Amino acid sequence: MPQERLSMRKVREILRLRAQGLSHRAIGASCGLGAGTVCDYLGRLRSAGLSWPLPDGLTDDELDRRLFPPSPPSGTARPLPDWNRVTHELRRKGVTLLLLWEEYHAQHPTGYGYSRYCDLYREFTSASDPRMRQVHKAGEKLFVDYAGQTMPVVDPSTGEIRQAQIFVATLGASDHTFTEATWSQTLEDWIGSHVRAFEYFGGVPQIVVPDNLKSGVKSACYYEPDLNPTYLEMAQHYGVAIIPARVRKPRDKAKVENHVLAIERRVLAPLRDRRFLSLAELNDAIAERLQQLSDRPFQKMPTTRRQLFEQIDAPALRPLPDDPYVFARWTKARVSIDYHIAVEQAYYSVPYTLIKKQVDVRITARIVEVLHDGKRVASHPRSFRAGNYSTVAEHMPKAHQAYVQWEPHRLIRWAAQTGPFTANLVAQILERFVHPQQGYRACLGLIRLDKAYGPQRLEAACAKALAAGAISYRSVHSILRNKIDTLPQDEEQMTLPLPEHPNIRGANYYA
C-alpha cells in the first residue's frame, strides 16, 4: 500500500494515461510518481473492476472507498492461496499472477484483493528457498557454464593424466540438467557441448544465458557484450537468443551455479575414486549418475527434475532443426594483389575486384567460405597442405592473358633495380607456378627486404640462394636474418649467369 494516498484527480489521470497505452514508467514521469506507486494503483483499479472511462456520477469518495475497501472484521480468516502451486503454475507458458489471482478470486470472492495477493506472494518468495525468487517460464531459458572442478583422465599408453572440463546446462523452469566432459573450454568444445545439450533436451529454448566465457563472448561489456561470430552463427542456426550474464551480477546465472554445485556433489564426487582411461568412459559414467540425479525427488516438492521437464519444459521447447550445426571458425583476411587470401598457410582465390579489401572467412572441417559485405563471394575445399594454392578461373580478370604478361614483367623490372641475382630469383619463383599471380606474394615480400637490409645485402643473399637452389622468399629472408650473405663466396658463384626468360632483358635495357 502506498505510504500516502493520492488525490482522486491524480488517480483518474493514471487510469486515463494507462488506457492510452503508456507504460508505468511513462505515467509516473507524467504524474510525478514512482513506477511502483503507479503499478500499485493500477492493481487496485483492476481489483475494483474499474477501467477508463470511469462510470458517470462516480464521486471521489466512492472511488476512494472502492480502491481502499475496509478491512474485514477481525477473526474472519481469508483463505490463503497455495503458494507452492502458484510458483509451479507461474513457470508454465502464458501464466501470470493476475490470471492466478482471478482464478483464486473466482473460488474465494471474499479473499484477498489483487494487490495484497501480490504482496503476500512476494513475502513468500523472499522467505523461501533463493532459487524460487526468480520465476522462469517454460522453455524460455537455458543456463550454461563450466564447473570449477575438473576430472582426471589417464592416458593408458603413457600414464599421463589430463584434466577434463565439465560443461553444465540447466533449463530454468524444470531444473533439468545436461552435463558432459570435454578436453577444453575452447570454442569448438563450447559449441559442441551446446549442440549435444539441445539434442539431449530434444528441443531448443528461447534464450541461452552463458557466463562471459571468452569462447562465447569476445568482450564482456555490461550493456552490449560482443559475441563470438561462431557462437552467434550457432544461435542463428537454432533460432535462439544469446543473453550473457552481466558482469559481476551473480544472480543472472544463479540457476546454473546452483546446479554446478549439485553436479559436483551428486555426479562428480561419487566418481572421485574411479580411474578413467578415456573421455568416452568418463562421459558414460557421468551420464549414469546424471540419470540418477534427474530421477531424484526434490527435497521440498513431491516431484523430480525429469517429471517437471516432461510436464513443463518439454512441451514448450521449439523443435530442433533438420540438421545439427556444423562447427565453423571465423576470421578476417586482406586480399592480396594476386587476388588470393592466406588461411592457415594455404591460399584461396577471390574475385579480383576485391584486391586490397578485407573479407570475412568461414572455416569448417571441409570448406573455406569467403564473404564480403555479408555475401558469399568464394567457396573452396579446405586444403591442409602448407603453401597450396586453390584458384578459380572465374576469379581472374577478364583480360587475364594481358594481365599475366604485364605483371611478371613489372615485378622482374623492379627486382632488376636491385641487381641481376634478385631479378633471376624473382623470375624463377614466377616460373614455379601454373598461374604466375600465385608467386606475386613471395616476389613482393622479396623486394620489400630491400628496405630492411639494403640492396647490396639483398643481392648477395639472392646469389647465395640461387647457388644453393633455395628458390623461395623464406630462404632469402633466412640468409639475411642469419647474416649468411656476409660470409665469403666463390667468385664463380657470384657470376652465376642469368637464365633464359622472355621477361629478363639485361642491364642495358634499364640504362
Task: Return the C-alpha cell found at 214.
Answer: 571468452
User: What percent of the chain has a predicted confidence (pLDDT) above 70?
Assistant: 82
User: β-pairing, 346-349 with 177-182?
Assistant: unpaired
Mean of pLDDT values over 369-398 = 86
235-249, 259-273, 324-338, 455-469: segment of lowest average pLDDT: 235-249
Query: What pLDDT does 122 receive?
Result: 83
**Of 209, 135, 211, nearest in space to 174 by CA:** 135
How confident is the model over 33-90, as pLDDT tens digits?
A: 888 888 888 988 888 888 888 888 788 888 888 888 766 555 456 888 888 888 878 8
127 has a pLDDT exceeding 60: yes
Question: Mean per-residue pLDDT for 162-173?
Answer: 91
Per the CATH hierarchy, to which homologous superfamily does domain 141-316 belong?
Answer: Ribonuclease H-like superfamily/Ribonuclease H (3.30.420.10)
Q: What is the pLDDT of residue 215?
A: 57
Q: What is the average per-residue pLDDT within 167-195?
A: 90
Q: What is the pLDDT of residue 222?
A: 40
Instruction: Tell me the average pLDDT of the chain.
Output: 81
C-alpha span between 106 and 100 (Å, rounded)? 10
Asked if residue 3 has pLDDT above 80, the reply is no
Q: Which distant-in-sequence residues (6+ apart) come within 8 Å of 100 by Cβ?
A: 81, 86, 89, 90
Residue among 18, 16, 68 at smallest CA distance from 44: 68
Beta bridge partners of 400: none
Q: Are 336 and 440 in contact (CB under 8 A)?
A: yes
pLDDT band at residue 226 under the 50/70/90 scheme: low
Q: Measuring CA to CA, how many Å separate 450 from each of 454, 472, 482, 496?
A: 5, 15, 16, 21
More confident residue, 35 or 254: 35
Other C-beta atoms closer than 10 Å to the C-beta of 4 total 6
Domain spans of the chain, in order of start: 8-129, 141-316, 329-395, 400-510
Q: Who contacts 128 (Cβ-Cβ below 8 Å, separation ≥6)?
A: 83
pLDDT at 247 over 80: no
Q: What is the mean pLDDT of residues 93-116?
A: 85
* pLDDT on residue 172: 85
Q: Which of 11-15, 113-117, 314-318, 406-410 has the lowest mean pLDDT?
A: 406-410
